[in-house]
Amino acid sequence: MNAMMKAAGLATIGVLVGYGSWYIGKNESPAVTAASTVMHSQPRPSSDTHITAMQPELANLRKMVETLNRESFATQAKPAAGNTAEKADVEQLAAKETPSPELQAQRDEEHRVQQLQTLENRITLESRDQEWSSPNETLLRSGFAQVTEQMSVSEVKCASSLCRVTGNMTEHGNPGEIYRTITEKVQWAGETHLTMDPGTGQVIAYLGRPGIPLVEQEALDLARQGSE
Amino acid sequence: MKKVTFILAVLAYFLLGTESFAQQSIWPGSQCVQWTAGDVVPTLNGSAIYNSSASASMRVDCPIERNDFSGFLHTPGIDSAWVSVIDMNYSADARCGLGSLSVSSTGVWTYVTSGSAFSAGASSGSQTLNLGALTFPNDRVHSFIGCIIPPSYAGNVSYLVNYYVNQ
């Protein structure tokens, strides 16, 4: 689908949604308005007050990460100055409604790199939550110690909302077995993002704090927009 | 009137032509396969599977037929999923999690998984393990549910009955 058609569709939907909102707002009964006010004024229930207290800081960090990603992606995506032929090729390819397998593979690779960069930025920018970080670093060291036949662990680091474990595959290591062993031995209740490169032997695992999304929807959307 | 029809047609084109609709499925446990050739082989019973080993856990992956892809204003993924298990082992839990795998053109393997859901206690009744949601990072990943079913306990076997996926 080309950009103009998308823009036209967005504009149409925007107009209809705007009209609908105006109409509903105009016809809303006082009782509904009052109920809505009461609902929104209720404190948000949470079993983990610490996570709730961290939300403003996390929100700021997410914004910073998004800004960094945007800048990073813009730099990577920018074609070389003066190389108009290459730019034309890229535009021609992007204009195709159904991307070729090669273009799709290129986009997927960009998404993957973008996602890793997002996670890396997060763990770099976040402060430590001492009460959570230290015990979970110990837990992960202990869990990953059972994967030694497959990989050697070089660093375990936890921030506030995620941890990162880095290491290298051993000569006996293979991605499937490492994944299976980690799944079975490291009983992690949160999301996991595990990347293994048999070419370089590098293993990077990001483990999200339970209850907090590891891969932000905004980051995925941003990556998609960047490659379209 | 013509304008309204035109607008509705444009909307229908964008929404119906490019969106994938939510699709729900329930699959029998017999769809699940052992993790490796050396793992405990699932035993069938009414298309449910159970672990007949008294000493080893049954480790299985249950396939998910992916039919949700990127579209206009749409990010693909699994909205919810659950697994029905019967945990008869008093000393070990059954557990399952959503997973996805992609191998990039440069040879990098990426697994993205939800957190594990564990059974609670042991009983002859079925338990539902809610697995949460999973967003697909791109349109080439496939997804699955990975489960570990404990060994039998005093002759009582534990089951993976079936699983549900809404994507």
DSSP label of B73: T
- Biggest distance spanned by C-alpha atoms of chain A: 70
Distance CA A119, CA B30 (A): 37
For residue A107, the model assigns a pLDDT of: 84
Partners of residue B139 in chain A, C-beta under 8 Å: 104, 108
Does the structure's ipTM exceed the value 0.90? no
B100-122: pLDDT as tens digits:
999 998 999 999 999 899 999 99
Residues A137 and A163: beta-carbon distance below 8 Å? yes
Same domain, A28 and A114: no
Is A95 part of a structural domain of the chain?
Answer: no
Q: Is residue B12 part of a domain?
A: no
CA gap A160, A51 in Å, rounded = 9
For chain B, what percent of residues have pLDDT higher than 90? 72
Helices within B19-165 (DSSP H only): none
In sequence order, the β-bridge partners of residue B50 are: B43, B159
Q: Residue B114: its chain A contacts at CB < 8 A?
A: 191
Residues A59, A30 within the same domain: no
Distance from the Cα of A85 to chain B's closest Cα (Å) equals 25
Q: Do B146 and A108 touch (CB under 8 A)?
A: no
Chain B contact for A179, CB < 8 A? yes
Residues 6+ apart with CB under 8 A from A9: B10, B11, B13, B14, B72
pLDDT at B142: 95
DSSP helix/strand/coil, A159: coil
Looking from the CA of A217 toward its CB, the CA atoms found within 13 Å total 9
B70 part of a folded domain:
yes
Q: Are strands B109-113 and B134-135 parallel, antiparallel or unpaired?
A: unpaired
| Contact with chain B for residue A108, Cβ under 8 A | yes
Q: Range of A219's domain?
A: 53-73+100-228
Looking at residue B39, what DSSP letter applies?
S
- Read off the pTM: 0.70
Does the CA dihedral A178-A184-A185-A186 come out positive or negative?
positive
Do A165 and A198 lie in one domain? The reply is yes
Chain B residue with the nearest C-alpha to that of A107? B138
Determine contact, residues A194/A205, Cβ cutoff 8 Å: yes
A118 burial type by CB count under 10 A (0-12 exposed, 13-18 middle, 19+ buried): buried
- Inform me whether the pLDDT recorded for B124 exceeds 70: yes
- The verdict on residue B7 lying in a domain is no
User: Domain for residue B2, yes or no?
Assistant: no
Within a 13 Å sphere around the CA of A56, how many CA atoms are in the beta-carbon half? 1
Strands (E), chain A: 151-158, 162-169, 192-197, 202-208
Residue A143 lies inside a defined structural domain of this protein: yes
Q: How many domains does chain A have?
A: 2
The answer to whether the CB of B151 falls within 8 A of the CB of B53 is: yes
Contact of A6 with B72, CB cutoff 8 Å: yes
Residue B18 to residue B111: CA distance in whole angstroms: 27
Partner residue opposite B115 with nearest CB, options A104, A106, A210: A210
Domain count, chain B: 1
pLDDT at A167: 96
CB contact under 8 A, A199 and B97: no
pLDDT of residue B18: 45
Q: Which domain holds residue B122?
A: 22-166
- Predicted local confidence at residue B8, as pLDDT: 59
> Do the domain assignments include residue B114?
yes
CA nearest neighbour of B97 among B140, B66, B64, B130? B130
Residues of chain A found within 8 Å of residue B102, distances taken between Cβ atoms: 108, 112
Whichever domain contains B93, its CATH number is 2.60.120.260
Provide the sign of the torsion angle of the four alpha carbons A10, A12, A18, A21, taken in this order: negative
Judged by CB atoms within 8 Å, which residues 112-131 of A form the interface with B?
112, 115
A138 C-beta neighbours (distance < 10 Å), count: 12
Q: Which residues of chain A have pLDDT under 50?
A: 1-8, 24-47, 74, 77-82, 93, 223-224, 226-228
Whether A87 is covered by a domain: the verdict is: no
The Cα-based distances of B58 to A179, B44, B108, B148 in angstroms read: 16, 13, 28, 6
User: What 3-state class would DSSP assign to A55?
Assistant: helix
Of A13, A111, A175, the CB nearest to B138: A111
Predicted confidence (pLDDT) per residue in B51-84, tens digit? 999 999 999 999 999 988 877 777 788 999 999 9
Instruction: Say whether B11 and A224 touch across the interface (CB within 8 A).
Output: no
Instruction: For an interface test with B, give the residue of A113, A194, A207 to mutate (most B CBs within 10 A).
Output: A194
Is the pLDDT score of B132 beyond 50?
yes
In a domain, B5, yes or no: no
pLDDT at B89: 98
Contacts of B12 in chain A (CB under 8 A): none
Q: A186, A143 in Cβ contact below 8 A?
A: yes
User: Has residue B143 got a pLDDT over 90?
Assistant: yes
Which residues of B are less than 8 Å from A175 in CB distance? Answer: 109, 111
CB contacts, 8 Å: A203 with chain B: none
Contacting residues of B for A112, CB less than 8 Å apart: 102, 104, 108, 110, 137-138
Q: Which of B107, B111, B137 sits opposite A220 (nearest CB)?
A: B137
Cα A77 to Cα A110: distance, rounded to the nearest angstrom: 9
User: How close A181 comes to chain B (CA, Å)?
Assistant: 11
